Amino acid sequence: MAGYTEYDKIAEMAGIPSAISEEINRFMDDTNPPKDFEDHNNENKIFVCGHLNVSIRTMMGSEKLRGRGKNEWVQKEDLKWLLATRKEYIMCYYLHLAVDNICENKDRIKGSKETVDNCVNSWGKNRAVVVQGTEPYLRDVLEFLRSNIENIRQIIFHNSDSR
């Protein structure tokens, strides 16, 4: 996972206001999220099995125990909520996930087994979660990332010797 400095620099390059970037960082990492984001985590329920409905907060907690980020169904609930309440945050949400994916592959990129460009393309095709209405935001994020590969590489790796 990238540090907030990297997220903020990349979000700034994408034209995302720092206030939105900071709130999404706190929301994604569940670190003192803004109240309405916290309410979303606690009050929205996800149907799990049978008659069981579990809060997003509970689902996030179980994911954290396994050392992973937000699961696909949690991301879908987040995106539906953002689409209904905070559309201006969706691009930053996708950007955060994409940067996390690049950072998860940092060792492979450093070892020349993967490139940042391939990592972005693979995430966009195989791992990016989409709900109806968020496709244009994802497309914008992927276009931004592809157009700024070199700058993003330098921000994440703090040098230019990585592929």
Please report the DSSP string for 50-89 in residue order.
TTEEEEHHHHHHHHHHTT----HHHHHHHHHHHHHH-GGG
User: What pLDDT, on a 0 to 100 scale, did the predictor assign at position 160?
Assistant: 41
Task: Give the residue numbers spanning the domain of 54.
Answer: 4-157
In a domain, 45, yes or no: yes
pTM: 0.84
At position 49, the amino acid (one-letter code) is C
In a domain, 128, yes or no: yes
In a domain, 112, yes or no: yes
In a domain, 47, yes or no: yes
**CA dist list (Å): 161 to 3, 67, 134:** 20, 29, 34
User: What pLDDT, on a 0 to 100 scale, did the predictor assign at position 68?
Assistant: 46
Query: In Å, how far from its chain's centre is CA 79?
Result: 11
In a domain, 163, yes or no: no
pLDDT in tens, the chain (163 residues): 567 789 999 999 999 999 999 999 998 887 888 889 888 877 776 666 665 666 666 666 554 434 445 678 789 989 999 999 999 999 999 999 999 999 999 999 988 889 999 999 999 999 999 999 999 999 999 999 999 999 999 999 884 444 4
**How many domains, the chain?**
1
In a domain, 84, yes or no: yes
Give pairs for 123-127: CB < 8 Å, separation 24+.
123/97, 123/98, 124/98, 127/101
Query: Would you say how long the chain is, in residues?
Result: 163
